[in-house]
């Protein structure tokens, strides 16, 4: 066979394998997130964190993994780590309404009202409903 044809075939094969692997990682990450959400419903937040960390290690571009990890940290009252997780979710998905809202809640719990207002107003501008009680003091 011509050397160029062999190289082209190998390139195509590698691209197919890489694409398949990428899809598998995203699916595995989503599976771990679903398992973590189940742990949150059971109030087993430390176990949920482990699953969300695995999901993130499997697919670092999964905003839901960061969001729900933030929820676990918020329930454990580790507010700094919750904010960090919500912020990462927002970096990945800039219109993540619920991440802005929850980050605002955490900032509010921490007494950072001005910073909380920024997040609440952003969530409202993205379509979050029924938060007028939180945003009326921000305007």
The pLDDT assigned to 72 comes to 97
Q: Could you tell me what percent of the chain has a pLDDT over 90?
A: 73
Q: Write down the pLDDT at residue 137.
A: 83
**pLDDT single digits (tens) 3-39:** 666 566 666 555 655 555 556 889 999 999 999 999 9
pLDDT digits (tens, 9 = 90+) for 63-81: 999 999 999 999 999 999 9
Write down all domains in the chain, each with its CATH number in brackets: 1-80 (1.25.40), 95-139 (no CATH)
> What confidence score (pLDDT) does residue 24 get?
85
pTM here is 0.83
pLDDT value at residue 43: 95
Residue length, the chain?
139
Q: Which two tokens stand for residue 114?
A: 């001005």
Q: What burial letters (b/e) apply to 105-135, b meaning 16+ CB within 10 Å?
A: bbbbeeebeebbbebbbbbbeeebeebeebb
Query: Per-residue pLDDT for 96 more than 70?
Result: yes
The pLDDT of residue 58 is 95
């Amino acid at each position: 066979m011509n050397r160029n044809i062999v190289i082209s075939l190998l390139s195509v094969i590698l691209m197919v394998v890489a694409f398949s692997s990428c899809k598998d990682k995203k699916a595995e990450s989503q599976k771990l997130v679903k398992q973590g959400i189940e742990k949150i419903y059971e109030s087993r937040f430390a176990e949920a964190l482990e699953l969300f960390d695995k999901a993130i290690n499997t697919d670092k571009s999964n905003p839901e993994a960061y969001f729900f990890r933030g929820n676990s940290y918020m329930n454990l009252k580790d507010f700094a780590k919750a904010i960090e997780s919500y912020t990462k979710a927002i970096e990945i998905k800039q219109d993540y309404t619920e991440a802005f809202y929850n980050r605002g809640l955490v900032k509010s719990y921490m007494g950072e009202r001005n910073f909380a207002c920024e997040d609440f107003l952003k969530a409202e501008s993205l379509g979050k409903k029924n938060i007028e009680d939180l945003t009326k003091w921000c305007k």
